[in-house]
Amino acid sequence: MSLKTRNALVTGSTSGIGLAIARALAKEGANVCLNGFGDAAAIEAERAGLEKDFGVRAIYSGADMSKPAEIAAMVKEAEAKLGSVDILVNNAGIQFVSPVEDFPVEKWDQIIAINMSSVFHAVRAAVPGMKARKWGRIVNTASAHSLVASPFKSAYVTAKHGVAGFNKTMALELATFGITSNCISPGYVWTPLVEKQIPDTMKARNLSRDEVINNVLLTAQPTKQFVTVEQVAALALFLCSDAASQITGANISMDGGWTAA
């Protein structure tokens, strides 16, 4: 597969899953617009690295995905600098864990904005160009929590279920325009965020590394193994291929069996 003629925008791609997806798309030849927060020098090193490693054009937008006007401007900027947005990966997301009665109102609003409403704003801005070119790929990083719930994650579970519903609506609306819309729903993915929790949890609970992984982190995941960011990126890449042109409106689990239970 080659994506040499394609331009991709990946939200939340300065770290974790989004960065792996951006790298996988660039490796197949797509030009890429990175987005997300982080250390400016580290982001610039990633951007320049994509250009050097894969011979593609890579740009960066610092748009805040909780701000509709910044999202629309980011899509316009990517279209102006790269020529189009053919592939839109809606990936930016945050988490907050709290009993509902203590859940800070501003955290609820932030999670709904970043994890859910940003998907609407980005798709709304990118679809006219995709329709005009009669080709588009929308890939949403949803979650096992778009299909099932866990306690204390009310905003996250609500937002991800919202993304799953929006995804199906887009598949129907855009079906005759050569545009597909799909969700990838990972279980626990091995990201620096997860890895960093292990030593502290070992100390706090007096557990071994394996016990923390199996009995604390991966209680819900039957394989007792993390998904890797490369595995999520490989599925995203496949959904962008012509072989996947009839996959639309799907919500594809990659969760070690979590949602089979």
Does 182 bind ligand NAD (CB under 6 A)? Our answer is no
Q: By C-beta, is 110 or 241 nearer to ligand NAD?
A: 110
Size of the site for ligand NAD (CB under 6 A): 27
Sign of CA dihedral 187, 7, 67, 166: negative
Does 37 bind ligand NAD (CB under 6 A)? Our answer is yes
What are the backbone dihedrals phi and psi of residue 254, each rounded to the nearest 5 degrees, phi first?
-140, 75
Does 18 bind ligand NAD (CB under 6 A)? Our answer is yes
CB 136 within 8 A of CB 179: yes
The stretch near ligand NAD (CB under 6 A) out of 29-37, 41-49, 77-85, 124-132 is 29-37
What are the backbone dihedrals phi and psi of residue 140, each rounded to the nearest 5 degrees, phi first?
-110, 125
Q: By C-beta, is 91 or 167 nearer to ligand NAD?
A: 91
Distances (CA, A) of 38 to 32, 46, 76, 138, 253: 18, 11, 22, 25, 29
CB 17 within 8 A of CB 237: no
Active-site annotation holds for 156: yes
Does 220 bind ligand NAD (CB under 6 A)? Our answer is no
| One of 7, 31, 84, 91 touching ligand NAD (CB under 6 A) | 91
From 108, 135, 156, 188, active-site residue: 156
Would you state the structure tokens that stand for residue 80, as one six-digit string? 């102006």
Does 136 bind ligand NAD (CB under 6 A)? Our answer is no
Does 166 bind ligand NAD (CB under 6 A)? Our answer is no
Does 16 bind ligand NAD (CB under 6 A)? Our answer is yes
**What is the closest distance, in whole angstroms, from the C-beta atom of residue 255 to ligand NAD in the complex?**
8
Other beta carbons within 10 angstroms of residue 178's beta carbon come to 14
| One of 64, 79, 108, 233 touching ligand NAD (CB under 6 A) | 64
Site string for ligand NAD, 143-162 (x = CB under 6 A): x-------------------
Q: By C-beta, is 135 or 212 nearer to ligand NAD?
A: 212
| One of 17, 24, 30, 119 touching ligand NAD (CB under 6 A) | 17
Residues with a catalytic annotation lie at: 156
Residues near ligand NAD (CB under 6 A): 12-18, 35-38, 64-66, 91-94, 114-115, 141, 143, 186, 188-189, 191, 193
